[in-house]
Amino acid sequence: MRFPKPSSLGFRLPSVRAPALPGLRAGSMTRLLGVALRAAFWALALATLAAVLAFIFVAFVPMGPMGLTATTGDEGTRVPVPRAYLLFGLGAFVGYLGGFALILRHLKVIVHTLRIGDPFQPANVSRLKQIGLTLATVTGGAWVGQTLVSRLVRGALEPPSLFDLVTPAFSVLVVFVLAEVFREGARLRRESDLTI
């Protein structure tokens, strides 16, 4: 059943489009995004390298006993921190920073394909899936790490709840949905290339 087309009332509504920012031409937003992603990637890559060097330093350089001072009220208590705990923390930090550097690297390549006008490449589907898996791994690892630390240092840190995983899980789902959208776009592009 077709609905009748409503008659015109004699006036048109203004078009709803995002206002252009002054000084930005078409395509310059993706260029700006590419520059921001490149800068963030290199900052994270350098931070990851610094964390790796700190891990190597703690692992191989002999040091005296390390301690952590926990203050409760007016007095402070010095708690010894075993080298294994410090190595675990630095290793988790390396994984966290490295995971986000990997995500930014994939995003940088996806933005580059967008800038050249060909975002629906089959490789972008696998990049988006890798972003989703990396995001899920980093988020799950951070949650498990916070849980372990809260159990090791009882009372000093609240254990994370399952509700802390809602927003990251939603983000992972959005990335996988985008991967399927890109897969469908790549399929449609391939079909249109075959029919021409």
Question: How far is C-alpha 77 from the geometric centre of its chain's CA atoms?
Answer: 37
Structure tokens at 55: 């891990």
* pLDDT digit string, tens, across residues 31-69: 888 899 999 999 999 999 999 999 999 888 887 766 665
pLDDT of residue 188: 87
* pLDDT tens digit at each of 196 positions of the chain: 555 555 555 555 555 455 544 544 556 788 888 899 999 999 999 999 999 999 999 888 887 766 665 555 566 556 666 777 788 888 888 999 999 999 999 999 999 998 888 888 889 999 999 999 999 999 988 888 888 877 776 666 677 888 888 888 899 999 999 999 999 988 888 888 777 6
pLDDT of residue 16: 47
Would you call 125 exposed, middle or buried from its count of C-beta atoms within 10 A (0-12, 13-18, 19+)? buried
H or E, element range at 78 = strand 75-81
pLDDT of residue 24: 46
> CA 78, 81, 84: angle at the middle one, nearest 5?
175
* Amino acid at residue number 25: R
Residues near 86 by beta carbon (within 8 Å), at least 6 away in sequence: 58, 66
Structure tokens at 77: 């208590």
